[in-house]
Structure 1
Amino acid sequence: MAISKQDIQRVKLMGFLHNRETERFSCRVITGNGTLTAEQLQAVGRIAEKYGSGVCAFTTRMTVEFAGVPYESIEDVVKELAAVGLTTGGTGARVRPVTACKGTTCVFGFYDTQALGQKVHERFYEGMGDVRLPHKFKIAVGGCPNNCIKPDLNDFGIVGQHPPKFKEELCRGCKLCEKFCRMGCMEVVDGKMQRDTTVCNNCGYCVGKCPFDAIYAEEVAYKLYIGGRWGRVVRHGTPLPGLYTEQQALDMIEKAMLLFRDQGKKGERFAAMIDRIGEDKAVDMLLHGDLMERREQILAKEIQ
């Protein structure tokens, strides 16, 4: 029995993608920022073996896919995945699965990226997953400026920052800071360290390296990027001015989604929308606009 285009589209929205020139489908399993418990990982393997090809692969969004699922087995796959707390999905013009680097345990990570990634997942992938957008919307959470998860190439990117502070009275002009600075933004001038803040990316590598404790850091902050894109067309995200707290970063994601829904055209990526209306206007609307005040109105409007 041939599978109709309507049924292919219906199960695609469930996270089952048609395998080319077959009547079988790939199952996309949503993970928690790329993490699964041992029980879940074993269960996915068993289900992939039972219903599909038996081969699992991690996608660029850190979901797990296995191919070869017959159309008539899709409901059984969904049911067995649900038994271990897993869901399928991650398709369509909406928030896509959130990616977060391993900054939680990485020696370079400044904060618990998996915890923040989970908050983003719960508030936006789950909480606003039914909100239709002009196109897909990808969010990435990075633990430091090493940029392993490429936050600035996502529709919305978060990058951990460890901005250094300086106690001038403790500086002896030894120039070790010049040696340790990976960005070349520190220079001793007239016996005191000077930092070029236009070059410094707040990587924090200099923190703790000064033998006289002149350079230190207290809080973790977040750099935010909007409108990044990779693929056939690449656009580096527009950095929002300044640094942000965790709560401010979460709220800014919602504002960005509202901006996209308010200003975007059907089928248009967020990056293209920003280029069309202008970076300055997009940033101004995020920082000073009334997006949150118009939230319900924006969510109710039809995307043209």
Structure 2
Amino acid sequence: MFYRKKEAAQKFGNGKIALTTRLTLEVQGLTYDNIEPFNTFIAQAGLYTGGTGSRVRPIVACKGTVCIHGLIDTQELARELHETFYKGWYDVKLPHKFKIGIGGCPNNCIKPGLNDFGIMGQRVPAYNPDDCNGCKKCSVVEVCPMKNAHLDEDGIMQIDWDTCNNCGKCVDACNFDCVTEAKAGYKIMVGGIWGKRQRLGTVIDEIYTKEQVFEMIERALLLYREQGKTGERFGVFIRKSGPPAGCEAPDRNPVVYTIDGTQA
């Protein structure tokens, strides 16, 4: 496939290929007359052009499936979203571009919160201080990248839940299994914008299943298509109208769903 891209760039363009920030390839130097022959040529390798305009843009995902920090299969999710929303909604005109980003963990490598719809893998820990054996050298304290775990005056490990980012590093770290997995799934951020004007996406204070993520994206796109103004980014739209129905951040404790779809 890569040889085909190189051959296409040399045959129809000026031989130069650039990588875009959304992990697509830009073949430079094509003339208007070469566009159709170029499309026919790359189609033989299963490739096609696109990726711009007021529509769902190419899906971006980190390498969460091979990264030691990854909590979800980002590449498989990206493929499914690509088929459903990039290809499935390709001919649907939106008020503006709509970007979807998938991060495998809270390390935020691809900055999902700066996409119109951001997805982040989560692994929520469960811990009861009564189960702590009071080890002088606590493996949970050592492994927590946020420094949220500490030993109190009695030598019992405590966790600051207010700043826990659900990276899951503490899960299975304790030699006595004091910290376990309470739930796992997907965190959602909506309305992120990056460019001349920036807006950090609104965090929806729940943990979702994959099925719910697909439902939320469809709900967001339908609302944006019907009620958004031409030229208005999704983040500007929800800043005025609020997140789509069913995506509002709750006032109390979050409703959490596990990977298998059951409510925790």
Q: What TM bracket, shorter-length normalisation?
A: 0.7 to 0.9
The alpha-carbon deviation at position 286 of structure 1 amounts to 3.5
- C-alpha RMSD of matched pairs (Å): 1.7
Residue in structure 1 matching 2:97, options 136, 139, 147: 136
SS of the residue aligned with 1:119?
A: helix
CA deviation after TM superposition for structure 1 residue 217, in Å: 2.1
User: 2: CA distance between counterparts of 1:156 and 1:258?
Assistant: 13
Task: Name the structure 1 match of 2:226.
Answer: 262
1:140-289 to 2 correspondence within 5 Å?
140-174=101-135, 175-189=138-152, 190-217=154-181, 219-277=183-241, 281-282=242-243, 285-287=245-247
More displaced stretch, 84-93 vs 189-198 = 189-198
> What percentage of residue pairs aligned between the two structures are identical?
48
- Give the counterpart letter for 2:203 in structure 1: P
Residue 3 of structure 2: aligned partner:
42
Aligned length: 245
Structure 1's unaligned 5+ residue stretches are 1-39, 289-304
Aligned equivalent of 2:255: none
Q: Which amino acid aligns with 1:115?
A: E
Q: Give the direction of change, closer, same or farther, for the CA distance of 1:55–1:146 in structure 2 (3 Å limit).
A: same
Following superposition, the deviation at residue 263 of structure 1 comes to: 2.7
* AA in 2 matched with 1:206: C
* TM-score normalised by L of structure 2: 0.87
Task: Confirm or deny that 1:75 pairs with 2:39.
Answer: no
- Residue 93 of structure 2 corresponds to residue 93 of structure 1: no
Match runs of 1:97-116 below 5 Å:
97-116=58-77
Which of 207-216 and 107-116 deviates more?
207-216
RCO comparison, higher one (Cα < 8 Å, 6+): 2
Greater CA deviation, 238-247 or 187-196? 187-196
Greater helix share, 1 or 2? 1
Is the 8 Å Cα contact of residues 259 and 286 (structure 1) preserved in structure 2? no
**Alignment partners' CA distance in 1, 2:157 and 2:129:** 8
Rounded to whole Å, the distance in 2 between the matches of 1:134 and 1:159 is: 25
Q: List 4+ stretches of structure 1 deviating above 6 A.
A: none
Partner SS, residue 222 of structure 1:
strand
Deviation at 1:287, TM superposition (A): 3.2
Deviation per residue, 1:121-176 (Å, 9 max, x gap): 01100111111111000001111111111100000000001111225453113344
| 1:256–1:286 contact (8 Å) kept in structure 2 | no
Report if the CA contact (8 A) 2:8-2:41 is conserved. yes
State the 1:191 CA deviation: 4.8
1:188 deviates by 3.6
The residue matched to 2:246 in structure 1 has which SS?
helix
Q: Is the 8 A contact 1:168 1:192 kept in 2?
A: yes
Deviation at 1:202, TM superposition (A): 0.4
Residue 89 of structure 1 aligns to which amino acid in structure 2? G
SS of match in other structure, 2:29: strand
- Unpaired segments ≥5 residues, structure 2: 249-264
Q: CA–CA distance in 2 between the matches of 1:196 and 1:155?
A: 30
